[in-house]
Amino acid sequence: MGKKSKTIDTERIRKAVKEILLAVGEDVGREGIKGTPERVARMYTELLGGMREDPEEHVRSIFTENYDEIVLLRDIPFYSICEHHLMPFIGSAHVAYLPIGSVLGVSKLARIVDCFARRLQTQERLTYQIADFIMGRLKPRGVAVVLEASHSCMTIRGIKKPGSAMVTSALRGIFRRDPKSRNEVLSLMHSGKK
């Protein structure tokens, strides 16, 4: 497989959006629509920027630390684009790990979430990618990732169920094997919530 380009073909997106507007019967010369193809091309460049980003960039801040209890960053806001309908899903990520002598700079957990979220995705794959990357790169005793998101492809079209949230989880290492550790990390993720 060839190396990914570092740029998105905005001209091609612009032309495709213009064709969509024509296909739905819109006047592409109308004042409010004239700049839409360019705006949509810029939007996709921003929303899908993670497709051209290497998550390795965010694990350069690993610190040696004699800490062996759970590290948890919860309520990390994220957005992604569902690959099935090209509509957004928006939610919160909760990411925890049990270190063995190494900890990651706290903002890096949020950056890793964003890196994988800003791609064409499914929530299930996104959850696994975050967990597997942290497990593989940091080599902790365990990783737990829980994502909660609202999918606009379900809330404003199709079945039209606003207010529903999809929850996915990925447990690795001790959090998968040991019920006590699993219960502890999941309890911490949800403490203080209604």
Q: Give the distance, in angstroms, between the CA of residue 135 and the centroid of all CA atoms in the same chain.
A: 17
CA distance 142 to 133: 12
Rounded CA separation 8/181 (Å):
43
Residue 83 among the catalytic residues? yes
Phi first, then psi, for residue 139 (nearest 5°) are: 55, 50
Q: Give CA–CA dist 63/148, Å, rounded.
A: 29
Task: Indicate the SS3 state at residue 163.
Answer: coil
Which listed residue (65, 83, 124, 190) is catalytic? 83
Sign of CA dihedral 70, 73, 75, 81: negative
End-to-end CA, the chain: 47
Catalytic residue among 58, 121, 148, 151: 151
115 is catalytic: no
Catalytic annotation, pick one of 65, 84, 124, 190: 84
Given a contact cutoff of 8 angstroms between Cβ atoms, the answer to whether 95 and 76 are in contact is yes
Q: Is beta strand 120-121 parallel, antiparallel or unpaired with respect to 71-82?
A: parallel
- What is the phi-psi region of residue 86: left when phi exceeds 0, alpha when psi lies from -120 to 50, beta otherwise? left
Among residues 53, 82, 121, 129, the one annotated as catalytic is 82
Q: In 3-state terms, what secondary structure has residue 133?
A: helix
Active site members: 82-85, 123, 151, 153
